[in-house]
Amino acid sequence: MVALNHCHPFIQNHTLLSLPFLIYSRHTNCFASFPTASIPPRSYAQPRTPLCLANATPEQNFNTLNLPDFDQGDVDDYDGEGGFSTPRGFRGRDGEKDYDRDPEFAEILGTCLDDPEKARSKMEERLRKKRNKILHTKTGSAAPMKVTFNKFDFSNSYIWFEFYNTPLANDISLICDTIRSWHIVGRLGGCNSMNMQLSQSPLDKRPSYDAIQGANVTPTNFYNIGDLEIQDNLARIWVDIGTSEPLLLDVLINALTQISSDFVGIKQVVFGGSEFENWKESLTSEDAGCSVHKI
């Protein structure tokens, strides 16, 4: 039952007053009598149109609606049937992407119930491809970095790194800069344990340096180094240190220990060995989490 106040201007419409099912109700109260119209129930499948818009054109209907303020782009997407359709998708805040309309993500959700393993595989592949765009907190590890040696040859060996998580771009840059600095100092003979006059002198005496003794020490040079290769949370680098100089290794281990504690957690460092856990020689695709960084 819909009640229409006869004092309201729009009930003067002769079409409305001539409805065959128009019934007048009488009320003995302080309010003026008003006509009532009985409207047959409609199916829920039909769109609901206000009586005041029943005889209006679609253009008049749109102009009469009390709509919130839209920009011109939103108005152009009005489909004329009581809704808005836009191929661009809803964008909430400025520049915010509608992830509900991501076809790749929709495909993953669609296979979640039918084939969970396939959905999991697709999600892992998506994370590998977009890992550089994912922002999350990355800190060092409180656990000490484990250091082991596996038939290490100073003239021809790999140094393996295992991180707790896949390193981000900033982490990789830090590791590369550290190794590059280590190689430069070693190539210039800066890590020569045969000439450590100051560190071996007594602390209670004034430091002194014998230039002749330092010039006559056999030099130790870092001959060659390869590129840093990364596969997910594993990395390796080939080195040719040349002479057996353990001080060079101490310098690198000390630097990596501090990096693991303050910046990116390193689970372990292994000196030597041609194989390491899940490392795959044939895996070179960047989409699979592989990358090579020049030292």
Taking only the tens place, the pLDDT of each residue in 220-237 is: 889 999 999 999 999 999
Please name the amino acid found at residue 217.
V
Q: Which of the listed ranges 3-17, 51-65, 102-116 does the model predict with the highest average pLDDT?
A: 102-116
Task: Measure the CA–CA gap between 217 and 213, rounded to whole angstroms.
Answer: 7
Domains in the chain with CATH codes: 2-64 (no CATH), 102-133 (no CATH), 146-193+217-293 (3.30.70)
More confident residue, 38 or 103: 103
Whole-model pTM? Answer: 0.54
The answer to whether residues 245 and 220 touch, using CB atoms and an 8 Å cutoff, is yes
Q: Which of the listed ranges 26-30, 194-198, 226-230, 289-293 does the model predict with the highest average pLDDT?
A: 226-230
Task: Measure the CA–CA gap between 230 and 237, rounded to whole angstroms.
Answer: 9
Neighbours of 135 (CB within 10 A): 7
CA distances from 276 to 12, 159, 160, 162, 289 (A): 89, 10, 7, 9, 17
User: Residue 130: what pLDDT?
Assistant: 72
Three-state SS for 78? strand
pLDDT-above-70 percentage for the chain:
62
Among 57-71, 91-105, 113-127, the least confident range? 57-71
As a whole number, the mean pLDDT across the chain is 75
Positive or negative, the CA dihedral 110, 112, 118, 122 is positive
Instruction: Provide the Cα torsion 125, 129, 131, 133; round to 10°.
Output: -140
Res. 280: pLDDT tops 80: yes
Taking only the tens place, the pLDDT of each residue in 112-168 is: 778 888 888 888 887 777 766 665 554 689 899 999 999 999 999 999 999 999 999
Res. 183: pLDDT tops 90: yes
Q: Residue 101's pLDDT band (boundaries 50, 70, 90)? A: low
Query: Token digits for 1?
Result: 């039952």
Partner residues linked to 292 by β-bridges: 229
